[in-house]
Chain A
Amino acid sequence: MKERILLVFKRTFELETVDESISQKNCDKWDSMNHLNLIVEFETEFEITIEPEEMGIMKDFKTIETIISRKL
């Protein structure tokens, strides 16, 4: 699952490399509009529904992994 999450990051933010340290604080491309694109891509990739409360805290890899894994 980690690889799929990282691939979503690469695709959405058009990054050449990405690792599990990625967060909204250390990624310039992770602005509020791209955050929405990211959520859409996770919903599509994993066929899940992400709630607004969850969207607000999905600001780093670890949290995203935790939330997605709960839904699978």
Chain B
Amino acid sequence: MNFDFSEDQKLLQSEAQKFLQQQCSNDLVRSVMEDGERFYAADLWQKMIELEWPGLAIPEQYGGHGLGYLELCVLAQALGGSLAPVPFSSTVYLLGEALKMAGSKQQQQEHLSDIAAGKLIGCVAVTERLGGSIHNLPDSRVINGKLSGQKAIVTDAMCADLALVSARNANNAYSLYLLPLDQPTVTRTPVNTLDPSRPAARLQFDGAEVEPLGAGGKGQQILEEVYDRAAVLFAFEQVGGCQAALQMGMAYSRERFAFGRPVASFQAIKHKFADMYVAQEIALANAYYAAWALASDAPELPLAAATARVSAIDAYFLCSKENLQAHGGMGYTWEFDCHLHYRRAQHLSVHLGGAPTWKNQVATELLATKTAKEA
């Protein structure tokens, strides 16, 4: 048993952190958040492509580095900590993983190569209405290779080239399709979101050209597997966000004085930070376990991923909201950066389906197996 990342992986993480500290300031995050015409930080994305991050875990035959999920995990933690406003998760964790899992040889050759080369931005279009999730049969429909219907919110759709879309096929079976977004039968309308540093769009399809990804009727199953994998990577982004929010709150409380002493010396404040730290460490530990399950393709993945996901959702909400409170009234201003994490925490928590969905998965998986103690 060795429950740690390797020296190479840690080096990658610290290099990534250093790079993002220099290249991804909160001003950059705000430049996307405050400008309705900017849908991602294109310069930063370009530099990430130069570092060959999008192809990190893409096989070498498609021009990637052929590294594993553990490298993606450490990168995700750094990205989450910096609030990077780039379509990395949509392109790499979601579209990229779906292609790896269910794409034909030709789809993989074409699209994975483009992702690795930095020529393709992806997104995933699944949510149609309130309460909609990957577990419901979509209303969007594909007949004779033409897609009709709509998706209510699709993160990164404004900057993406290719969408993974869920729709029913001619037999009403839940299926997945690849949709090139740049065609006149696709209407993209920007929508306001809780976290405007991660812009999204509403999509309308009127007979758009699509091609199937994976077998007809297998859509839900593929998405569930893709989401289990993405949940682990999202958890690392969330933990990175927790760490940044906790550091931010502690730094402010150390500098700010009240009653003649640093605010950080009051037990009421210290205990708040201790609770944030505990939540963060639990989330990190569960993310480590899930990273192992992901990297080793272990049968525990659905339980481990859901556990990491629930802990990460809880921890980032706690850390981001209490960081804001620790800043007092200033924390509630637009000018201070507390709301950047508070908003991002909400975005990351609902993007793959909220906590109740994943808690339900934890309970189901747990009750489906006997633990060693019970066996």
A and B: partners? no
Binding site for B on A (CB under 8 A): none
Binding site for A on B (CB under 8 A): none
